Amino acid sequence: MSKEMAEAFRILEEDKGIKKDDIVDAVIESLRAAYRRRYGQADSALIEFDEKKADFHVYTVREVVDEVFDSRLEISLKDALAINAAYELGDKIKFEESPTEFGRVAAQSAKQTIMEKMRKQTRLITYNTYKEHENELMSGTVERFDARFIYINLGSIEAQMSRKDQIPGEVFASHDRIEVYVEKVEDDPRGVNVFVSRSHPQMIKRLMEQEIPEVYDGTVEIMAVSREAGDRTKVAVRSHNPDVDAIGTIVGRGGSNIKKITSKFHPARYDTKLEKWIPTEENIDVIEWVSDPAEFIYNAIAPAEVDQVIFDEKDSKRALVVVPDDKLSLAIGRRGQNVRLAAHLTGFRIDIKSASEFEAMEAAQALAAEVALEEEVVPSAVEEVLAEVEELLDEAAPVENLEEEQE
C-alpha cells in the first residue's frame, strides 16, 4: 500500500501540480472528519503520516485517571500500569486505532477533497499560464462556432472570440490554424475564460514586433495604433536611432513588411454586382509620431494636406483642422473614416473645415463681434444722456421749491 500511495503522490504532484503536503493534509483532515462522524468527536484523535512508509496512522489519546467516565478519552491507573509500570496519573497514552470501521468513509472524503484540490490547482495553473500571455499573440485551432463566439483551442483551453473581435468578412472553417490576440483572461468560479481578438488594434503592433526586427529590438517604437479591422489602420511610429527611418523601416522595401502584416488577415466584401465575396486587403497607413500635438495631427490627417490646426481654448483635447477646399473629402474620408482614425490615433476630438468654410466662419464671427459692440455702445450712449437729463432735473427742483416759498 505504501508503494501505491507513494506512486499516487508522485503522479498527482508531477502531472496535476498538487503538492504532496497538500494531499497529506487532505487525507488527515478526511480521517479526522470520518473519526468525528463515527465516534462523535475528533479532539482525541491524533493522525500521523509516516514519510518512510508513506502510510497513515490513527491514534486516540487517553489520560490516566483514578475513575474512568469516558473510555474514549480516559484510562484507569490500574489499566495503564498493566501496560507500563512507569505511568502515573495525568499521563497521556497513545493507542493506535484500526481505521477499518471508518476508513471507507475517510477514503471517500479524502478522494473528494483531493479532487476538489485538483480542480482548483488545475484552474490556477491554467489561469496563470494564459494570464502570462495576456496582451500577446497566440496560435490556436478553430474548434467550433455558435451564435456568439468562435471557439479556438489554444492548447489546454478553448478561447472565445466574439463577433466584435472578428474581422468583418473573414471566414474560418473547423481546424483552421489562426493567430489571435489574447485580450483578457478571467478566473471565473466555473472555470477560466480566455477572450481573444483579431480586430484589436494591438494585434497590429504585436504582428509588427513579430515580423520586423527593428520593432522587436526597440529601435523603432510603435507609439499608437488606430484601427477599423479589415479595412484601414493608422500606425504612429518613431525611431530611437537618427540613422534609421521609422516609416521606411515599418513599410519595408517595396512594402514588404506591410505585406507580411496584411497577409495575416483574410477579409472579404460582398460585391452586389458580381453577387459574390471579393477578397480585400486591410490598408495600413504609417505616419511619424512627434511630440508637438499640432504637427502630430498634421501627420495623422494624411494623405490630406492641412492648412492649420487650431486648439480649443475651453477644451484642451479638441482641435479644429483647416484643409484646402479640394482636400476636404479626402481629409474626412469615406464615411468619416480618415478623421475618425486620426482622432483615435492622436487622442483629440477633431473637427474638419475647408479653407472657405473657415473664412466664412471667421467673417461671421467678426460680424457678430461688430454687432455686439454696436449693441453695447448704443445703450451706453443713451444711458449717458438719461443721466445728464436726470442731473438737470435734480438741479431744477430746488429752484422751483424756492419760488413756491417766496409766493
Q: Is the pTM of this model over 0.85?
A: no
Same domain, 234 and 101: no
Same domain, 96 and 68: yes
Mean pLDDT of the chain: 84
- What is the Cα–Cα distance from 305 to 331, expressed in whole angstroms? 8
Q: What is the CATH number of the domain that holds 234?
A: 3.30.300.20
Same domain, 235 and 296: yes
The answer to whether residue 370 sits within a structural domain is: no
Is the model more confident about 33 or about 105? 33
The answer to whether residue 395 sits within a structural domain is: no
The answer to whether residue 376 sits within a structural domain is: no
- pLDDT at position 49 is 79
Q: What is the CATH number of the domain that holds 114?
A: 3.30.1480.10
Q: Is the dihedral of CA 202, 207, 212, 214 positive or negative?
A: positive
Residue pLDDT, tens place only, 368-385: 666 666 555 555 555 665
Determine contact, residues 192/185, Cβ cutoff 8 Å.
Answer: yes
**pLDDT tier at 301, thresholds 50, 70, 90:** very high
Residue pLDDT, tens place only, 150-164: 999 998 899 999 999
How many CB atoms within 10 Å of residue 179? 16
Same domain, 350 and 231: yes
Same domain, 59 and 88: yes
Same domain, 233 and 188: no
The answer to whether residue 92 sits within a structural domain is: yes
Same domain, 84 and 12: yes
- What is the Cα–Cα distance from 205 to 221, expressed in whole angstroms? 10
Choose one of 311, 335, 356: the last residue of a domain. 356
- pLDDT at position 58 is 80
Q: 118 exposed, middle or buried (CB, 10 Å; 0-12, 13-18, 19+)?
A: middle
Is the model more confident about 115 or about 401? 115
- What is the Cα–Cα distance from 114 to 22, expressed in whole angstroms? 8
pLDDT for residue 146 is more than 70: yes
The answer to whether residue 375 sits within a structural domain is: no
The answer to whether residue 400 sits within a structural domain is: no
Q: Is 289 left (phi over 0), alpha (psi -120 to 50) or beta?
A: beta
The answer to whether residue 263 sits within a structural domain is: yes
- pLDDT at position 55 is 75
Count how many domains the chain has. 3
Helix, strand, or coil (residue 175): coil
The answer to whether residue 286 sits within a structural domain is: yes
Residue with cell 497513545: 94
Residue with cell 499521563: 91
374-378: long-range contacts at Cβ-Cβ below 8 A with a sequence spacing of 24 or more? none
All three cell numbers of 324, joined, read: 484646402
Q: Which span out of 51-65, 86-100, 246-260 was modeled with the highest average pLDDT?
A: 246-260
User: What average pLDDT score do residues 32-55 get?
Assistant: 71
- pLDDT at position 273 is 84
**Domain interval for residue 80:** 2-130
CA 325 from chain centre, in angstroms, equals 42
**pLDDT tier at 139, thresholds 50, 70, 90:** very high
Residue pLDDT, tens place only, 202-241: 999 999 999 999 999 999 999 999 999 999 999 999 999 9
